[in-house]
Structure 1
Amino acid sequence: MEKNRNYFVAIALSVLILIAWQFLYVNPKLEKDRLLTEAQQTQQAAEQKPGQTTAGAGSTAVTPNGAVPGGALESHDQAVAKSARVAIDTPALAGSINLTGARFDDLRLKEFHETVDKSSPIITLFSPAETQHGYFAELGFVGSDATGQTPGPQTVWTQQGDGKLTASTPVTLTFTNEKGVVFTRTISVDEHYMFQVTDSIKNATGAPISLSPYGRVTRFEKPTTPSVYVLHEGFIGVIGEHGLQEVKYTTTEEDTTVAPGKATTGWLGITDKYWASAIVPPQDSPYETRFSHFTDGRPRYQADYKQDAITIPAGETVDVKNLLFGGAKEVPVIDGYKTSYSIPHFDLMIDWGWFWFFTKPMFQLMDFFFRYFGNFGIAILITTIVVKGLFFPIASKQYASMANMKKVQPKMEELKAKFGDDRMGLQQAMMQLYKEEKINPLAGCWPIFLQIPVFFALYKVIYVTIEMRHAPFFGWIQDLSAPDPTSIFNLFGLLPFAVPHALLIGVWPLIMGVTMFLQMRMNPTPPDPTQAMIFTWMPVVFTFMLASFPAGLVIYWAWNNTLSIIQQAIIMKRHGVKVELFSNLKGLFGKKKTDPAQ
């Protein structure tokens, strides 16, 4: 009994330490870092004046190994307005391509807004290098003296015609260098986020030439939001036989460059939680890849590839095809690109985690119900019912075993009285009793073990998939991927003051805590005071712990608890065992009678 008590005390203290660490250190630190970042950005914007030189980047000569000199930071509109461009206008995308360098540096996502408010600005993915949030993709060639000038960051392309780039109308750009090499670039885009760039190189020099295609995705700022261990943000790619590469920004800051190696198939780029950009090089010739952090001039992060040199005989024309993805990581769209373009493991752009074989089917099931009912909250509720149904046989055995354990409780008490301090004899007698009554004392552990991967898979789905972003439920829950915005500490918004993030204990976390409390009261109160205390306070602990989790996850937990209470009550009645819920509640909240003899 003493060992048992110490065990539970250790668990309780560990949980309390973790909670204290989260609320007293981690949350204040994250809030402090966020405020510091905002203050620095505000100060930088205020101090920036026309003509002032900072560590910026312009459209200057850059090769995959080159440096970017400093320049004056500008607003997005200023940077876009100063250069000739080809407009982009599709159902999903808006923006433009800079004719200097044929650079994709102005790309906005029409279907996604910065906040839940539909009137808020749409998401900006790419932005010119001269801006604070510079982020762009570029394709070009590295040549030699024999080839003359090859297309790069400073190359000024000429558009044939003056139309927009739409899902039905590609655009064509041309550039002829001083040696007579003609580069014709055709750019097309689908109704989602995939650009196809085909370069036709005609060698009119009278002699063979060699040049190497390259591509890069460059970013001047990494996300300011703190990273989360369940999600990778940073460099990403599948590099041939080297497989999936997930390289953190901090890794390149320490090592400067990470070079996975040479490959002939794959893709590479940069991923955020919901957005990504990636280049798919030509899949018929070896290329080198790098993930780098450069500090020459203005610091930047860059994923690039350089293909082995290709030779173009005199008078011949060679085509080089690249794919460029820039947009939202929508599951069906990403999966569709993997199939239609035969891009190896392109679906790994979405971080399904190690348990992808469980996580992705969970999303597909929820997405099926969402398409039928039109509400991801309802989809979560129905998915929970389906999962409970799949695990029903195991759960039934567990609850049946628990019911049988209660039925033999008098016999167990007799054995304890009979054997006294003889622990070995008591253990053998109890095992014999379990065998005779066909009871599995470990059956109660299985639902817990099964719920862990379900919980984690659902957490991954809600946290990483863009389909959950800004997905409303009912009432005040307008974003299932964000925590419940209400708090008991300001009476759920009735009192006119903002509550610190650490005290956002909303309605749904409280509902979850109540259902957990009721579920634990379905069983008799443990005789050991320490266990009884832990069982009493555990719902409170979990209420605080899950308050900062996505609302969709808390709704799932509360609904799962409710179904478990109903399921357990039905099974217990079938086995003729008393449901202890109302008795326990009466004993807990009812008035205790005093003994007159005391």
Structure 2
Amino acid sequence: MESQRSLLVIGLALVSFLLWQQWNIANAPQPVTPVAEVSPNSATSSADLQLTTADTEQPAATVTASARTIEVSTDVFNLSIDSRGGDIVALTLPDFELEKGKAEPYPLMRRLPGFEYVAQSGLIGRDGPDDSRNPRPVYSAAHTSYRMAEGATELVVPLTFNHNGLQVEKRFIFTAGQYDVRVEYLLHNQSTEVKTVQPYQHLVQSIDNGESTSMMMPIYRGAAFGTSSERYNKYAFDDMQEKNLLEATTGGWVAMLEHYFVSAWVPDQQADNQLYSLVRNGQGVIGAKGPAVNIEPGATVTLGSTFYAGPKTQDNLAKLANGLDLTVDYGFLWFISQPLFWLLTLIQSVVVNWGVAIIIITLIVKGLMYPLTKVQYESMAKMRNLKPKIDELQARYKDDRQKMGPAMMELYRKEKVNPMGGCLPMLIQMPIFLALYWVFVESVELRHAPFMLWITDLSAQDPYYVLPVLFGASMYLMQKLTPMQVTDPMQQKIMMWMPVAFSVFFLWFPSGLVLYWFVSNLISLAQMLYIYKGMEKKGLHTKKA
């Protein structure tokens, strides 16, 4: 019984600790650590990858005065495109507030003093305008701002540039209601020679920005990629600093992750691409490079890729690339979490309240787990009733351990008791509950979602700490109902203070998770009362003698 209780407490503590770390990313202070400011006009080359990144200043003579910022607004985006290179240098999400109740939209990408998070793309190779031998091209645009008209389904932002007889049109194609943007190059060879170019796309983010730490330990914020053989891989900034990524794959994708949101480049999924990473002047770069393309004289070629910037919405991400939906990181239990998330969204679509959906899915999961719960408590009761006989055997064979083992097994066989019967059901249940916890942690749908009364944001802590107190009370009642044989005074004191400790610990938990724990405890209390009543009818003791 003591080992079972210890497993439960350790499991609960571990899960709670991991959840608290993950939720800290939404609430931890986010200072900006100054780094050397990087100019979007700069370029450097890498001998192994031959790509252009914004890392070193260009000579002033190469800077064209016509460079400017082009503002674009759609129903889901407000973004800025730098005409030099056609890079996305700022992007906000108006449908997602930075803080609940405030009108400020969530800034996913931005260029600030000491911090940069941008999306770059271009054409390298022998005749590419973005090749390291050339300054970044400065595109021309008909307007300085573009806005998607009300009722329109699409917005096209064309940028043009002529490079040594190669007419380049870089198009950003926005679709109403979608966070993925089609980025295309329309290339017309106006010269008499074959032109060779190679497309690339990458994401650049300052590494030392203070946003990847919590009070206890680092919280993951960084890069990820997927290949045809490995659907999802994290590639942290520390990994970049140790070794450049270099993966050949058909299709694939690269991304930068943060809690609830992701930016990603999805290159041509039929092409043989090369995924890469670099670290330059305090910036991490992860990207994809396509195969070289030859353009005959007079020919026109279109090259395209998809850029995504927005919430981690699994259905949308899964349509873009194989494994991109795994950026909703449920860890190694994703195969359990995904069906649970599907069920949670199905329930929410009916009840139209995420808090009510949490309660209902808790009822369903606890109900399905009831047979295991019953086996667990009945096995514990049987073991408790065997305690006098076990004590007798231990006293008889206290000096002969070799005989004690077989004697104990014979006693279990004779009494038809499985000594692991109480642990195994609990071990089976733990992955399911852990997977459900990660659903609550990772689902952007719960961000700023209201429940009722004073709970206006299930992703934030209870402002009046009512749920943590109720949770502690329910845990105390469970402790009183759960039979235990702890005799050590120190252990008894620790167990007595556990409800208080967890209540304090849960003060900083998001209310959605505390709601889940509280409802789960209430259901457990009801199940325990029902199971104990049945056991007493069978003559099994349920309380400490």
Q: TM-score interval w.r.t. the shorter chain?
A: 0.7 to 0.9
Given the superposition, is the C-alpha separation of residues 380 and 143 from structure 1 closer, same or farther in structure 2, using an over 3 Å criterion?
same
User: Shift of residue 312 of structure 1?
Assistant: 0.8
Q: Sort the Cα spacing of 1:315 and 1:8 in 2 relative to 1 into closer, same or farther, 3 A.
A: closer
Counterpart code for 2:262:
A
CA offset at residue 547 of structure 1? 3.9
Cα distance, 1:430 vs. partner? 5.9
Q: Distance in 1 between matches of 2:425 and 2:502?
A: 18
What residue number does 1:315 align with?
298
What are the superposed Cα offsets for residues 356-413 of structure 1, whole Å, 9 maximum, x if unpaired?
111112222222222222222221211111111211222222233344456x46xx53
Among the aligned pairs, what percent are the same residue? 25
Q: Measured at CA, do residues 213 and 436 of structure 1 come closer, stay the same or move farther in structure 2, by a change above 3 Å?
A: same
| Alignment CA distance shift 1:242-1:442 (3 Å) | closer
Residue 293 of structure 1: how far off its partner (Å): 1.6
Which of the pair has more CA radius of gyration?
Answer: 1
Which deviates more, 348-357 or 228-237? 228-237
Specify the alignment match of 2:84 in structure 1: 100
Matching residue of 1:250? 238
Q: Tell me the TM-score normalized by structure 2.
A: 0.81
Q: Deviation per CA, 1:188-238, whole angstroms, max 9, x where unpaired?
A: 122221001221111110121111112121223555234478974211111
Say if 2:229 is the partner of 1:270.
Answer: no
Is the counterpart of residue 55 in structure 1 residue 14 in structure 2? no
C-alpha displacement of 1:161: 11
SS of equivalent residue, structure 1 residue 517: helix
Residue pair 1:93, 1:192 contacting (<8 A) in 2 also: no
Question: In the alignment, what sits opposite 2:61?
Answer: none
Separation in 1, partners of 2:411, 2:130: 88
Q: Which residue of 2 aligns with 1:550?
A: 510
The yes-or-no answer on 1:538 pairing with 2:529 is no
Aligned partners of 1:182 and 1:201 also within 8 Å: yes
Once residues 162 and 547 of structure 1 are traced to their aligned partners in structure 2, the CA distance between those partners, rounded to angstroms, is 46
Which amino acid in structure 2 is aligned with residue 568 of structure 1?
A: M
Residues 428-477 of structure 1: per-residue CA shift (max 9 Å, x gap) = 66655544553333222134313421332122122222112222333433
Code of the aligned partner of 2:509 = F
- What amino acid does structure 2 have at the position aligned with 1:469? R
Kept in 2: contact 1:222–1:249 (CA 8 A): no
Q: Secondary structure at 1:177's aligned position in 2? A: strand
**Is the Cα contact below 8 Å between 1:569 and 1:579 reproduced in 2?**
no
Q: 1:168 aligns with which of 136, 150, 153?
A: 153
Question: What SS class does the counterpart of residue 170 from structure 1 fall into?
Answer: strand
Structure-2 change in CA distance of 1:172 and 1:192 (3 Å): closer
String of CA shifts for 1:527-561, please: whole Å, max 9, x gaps.
Answer: 62445445433333433444443332222222212
Q: 1:170 to 1:428 in 2, by over 3 A?
A: same
Cα offset, 1:109, TM superposition: 0.4
Return the structure number with greater relative CO, CA threshold 8 A, min gap 6: 2
Report the equivalent of 1:495. Answer: none
What is aligned with 1:304? 287
**How far apart, in 2, do the equivalents of 1:315 and 1:437 lie?**
89
Aligned partner of residue 192 in structure 1, secondary structure: coil
Mean Cα deviation higher: 106-115 or 458-467: 458-467
> Are 1:292 and 2:287 matched, yes or no?
no
In structure 2, distance between residues paired with 1:426 and 1:165:
80
1:185 aligned to 140, 161, 170, which one? 170
Flag the 1:527–1:139 CA change in 2: closer, same or farther, 3 A.
closer
Alignment partners' CA distance in 1, 2:244 and 2:333: 26
Q: 1:450 aligned to 401, 410, 428, which one?
A: 428
Amino acid at match of 2:342: Q
Which blocks of at least 5 consecutive residues in structure 2 are unaligned?
46-50, 59-65
**How many residues are paired up?**
511
The code of the aligned residue for 2:458 comes to L
Most deviating of 535-544 and 267-276: 535-544
**Structure 2: distance between partners of 1:415 and 1:174:** 82
Give yes or no for contact 2:69–2:144 (8 Å, CA) kept in 1: no
Match of 1:237 in 2: 225
TM-score (norm 1): 0.74
Equivalent residue in structure 1 for 2:479, among 493, 501, 520: 520
Return the match for 2:138 from 148, 155, 162: 155
Instruction: Return 192-201 or 454-463, whichever deviates more.
Output: 454-463
Given residue 68 of structure 1, which amino acid in structure 2 is its aligned partner?
A: D
1:562 aligns with one of 522, 525, 531: 522
- SS in structure 1 at match of 2:186: strand
* Segment drifting more, 227-236 vs 345-354: 227-236
Moved more, 571-580 or 105-114: 571-580
The aligned counterpart of 1:112 is: 96
How far off is 1:350 after superposition? 1.6
Which region of structure 1 is more displaced relative to structure 2, 278-287 or 414-423? 414-423
Aligned pairs (5 A) from 1:396-435:
396-405=374-383, 408=385, 412-413=387-388, 416=391, 420-423=395-398, 431-432=409-410, 434-435=412-413
Partner residue in 2 for 1:496: none
Task: Write the distance in 2 (CA, Å) between the matches of 1:316 and 1:385.
Answer: 64
Segment of structure 1 superposing worse, 159-168 or 176-185: 159-168
Q: What residue identity is the alignment partner of 1:282?
A: D
SS in 2 for 1:216: strand
Question: Which is further off, 100-109 or 316-325?
Answer: 100-109
Q: Distance in 2 between matches of 1:147 and 1:399?
A: 70
Which of these residues, 436, 440, 464, is aligned with residue 462 of structure 1?
A: 440
Matched, 1:135 2:117: yes
C-alpha RMSD of matched pairs (Å): 3.9
Contact 1:102–1:157 under 8 Å retained in 2: no
Mean CA deviation greater in 358-367 or 507-516: 507-516
Please say if residues 71 and 81 of structure 2, whose CA atoms lie closer than 8 Å, have aligned partners that are also in contact.
yes
Which AA in structure 1 matches 2:223? F
**1:558, 1:317 → 2: CA distance?**
63
**In terms of mean alpha carbon deviation, does 59-68 or 305-314 score higher?**
59-68
Summarize deviations over 1:96-137 as a string: whole Å, max 9, x none.
Answer: 3333322222321011111122x2411112224x64443221
